[in-house]
Amino acid sequence: MNRLFHVSAYILFMAILSQVSRAQEPLNPMVEAYIDMYRPLAIEEMKRTGVPAAIKIAQGILETEAGKSLLVRNSNNHFGIKCKSNWTGEKVYHDDDEKGECFRKYASPEDSYRDHSDFLKFQPRYAPLFQIDPMDYKSWAHGLKSAGYATNPKYPEILIRLIETYRLDDLTFFAIHGRDRGIGGDMAAGGPSVPVPVKPLTTSTLVASASESDSKPVASVDVPSVTYPEGVFRSGGTKAVFARKGTSLLALAEMHRVRLSKLLNYNDISAREDFLQEDRLIYLQRPRHRTDVNEQKKERWEPFKSMTGISSLISRPRS
C-alpha cells in the first residue's frame, strides 16, 4: 500500500512538472497574432458547423506557417485544401507533393474558413469526427489523421502541442458555453467582427521583443540584415533553406519532399526534436563535405549575434 502511494505520488508529481514545463514554453508572437486575428472566425464556424475552434485554429497555424506561407498569401487558402474534382472556383498552382499542384483560391480568409468547415462537415469520411466531444481535441486531432486529412505521422501531435501551448481549447469552450474561461476580455466580448491586419515583424521588432530577463549580458553588436535568401538556395553546392526557431521539422521535410529521417541526418538533429531549437540553415540534401554540417553551426548565427528569443513560424504539413 505504501509503495502504491509513492508510485501514485510520483506520477502526480511528473504530471504537474509536465504542465509547468509546458506553461513556461515561450510563445511565438506571430502565432499569437494569428490567433487574435482569426479566433472570431473559428468561433463563428464552430457555432455554425460544429468543427472545434481549437482544431480549426491549430490547423490554420500549421498549414499557413502562422499566416506567412506563400500559398496563403497567394490564395487566402488557410487549410491547404486542394482543388479536387468538385471545385469550380478559382485556382492557384503550388508545389506540394508534386510540382504545380492545384489548390483552391478564395476571395477572403472568411471564405477559406467556411469552406474548411463544409469540407469536413459534408464529407462522409469525416462524419465520425462529429460524434466526438468537441472539447476532446486529442481525439479530433487523431481522427483527422485517420480520416486522411494529412499523411504526416506526427500531424496529430503537432496540433495537440499547439492547442496546449496556446490554450486553444479555451476557444472551443467559449463557442459552446458563450462565456470566457480566462483567456481575455476581447474574446469574451466576441472579438473583432473582421480580422485586423497584423504588421509583419521586422528585424528591429524581433530584436526589441527579445527576452529582457536574460541573465547574461550581451555585448553591443551591430546586427546585420539576414544574408540568406528566401526559399531554397544553394550553400556550398548543397540545396538548403534558412528556417526559424520553432519550425516543425516534419512539416519542413514534407514541404520540401525530403524524408524526415534524412533531413535529421543531413543536419545532425536528434530524432527526439519535433521543432527547431534555434534559427539555422537546414540542408535538404546530404552536404557534399561532411564538414559543411559543422561549419553551419558557426555560420548560422552570424546574422543574429546579439538576438535572443527570436520568434519563428510553424511550417505547414501536407494535407
Q: Which residues contact 179 (CB under 8 A, 6 or more apart)?
A: 188
Query: Counting beta carbons within 10 angstroms of the beta carbon of residue 172, is it exposed (0 to 12), middle (13 to 18) or buried (19 or more)?
Result: buried
Considering the chain, tell me which residue range(s) the CATH 1.10.530.10 domain(s) occupy.
Answer: 19-188
pLDDT by position in tens, the chain (length 319): 455 444 444 455 455 445 544 445 568 888 999 999 999 999 999 999 999 999 999 999 999 989 989 999 999 999 999 998 889 999 999 877 678 889 999 999 999 999 999 999 999 999 999 999 999 999 999 999 999 998 888 899 999 999 999 999 999 999 998 887 654 444 433 443 333 333 333 323 222 333 333 333 333 333 334 466 777 888 777 888 888 888 888 888 877 888 888 899 899 898 888 888 888 889 998 887 554 444 444 444 344 333 333 333 334 444 4
**Cα–Cα distance measured from residue 191 to residue 213, given in angstroms and rounded to the nearest whole number:** 31
* Single-letter amino acid code for the residue at 94: H
List the grid coordinates of 177. 458555453
What's residue 51's pLDDT? 97
User: Mapping DSSP to helix (H, G, I), strand (E, B) and coil, where does residue 63 land?
Assistant: helix
**Residue 106 CB neighbour total at 10 angstroms:** 22
Looking at residue 226, what is its pLDDT?
A: 44
- The CA distance from 16 to 113, in Å, is 36
In angstroms, the CA 127 to CA 119 distance is 11
Check residue 297 and give its pLDDT: 44
19-188: CATH architecture: Orthogonal Bundle (1.10)
43 within 8 A of 60, measured Cβ to Cβ: no
What integer pLDDT is reported at residue 314 of this predicted model? 39
Cα 122 to Cα 78, 84, 126, 293, distances in angstroms:
19, 14, 8, 48
d(CA 25, CA 112): 30
Collapsing DSSP states into helix, strand and coil, what is residue 240? strand
pLDDT at 227: 60
Residue tagged 494535407 (cell numbers) = 319
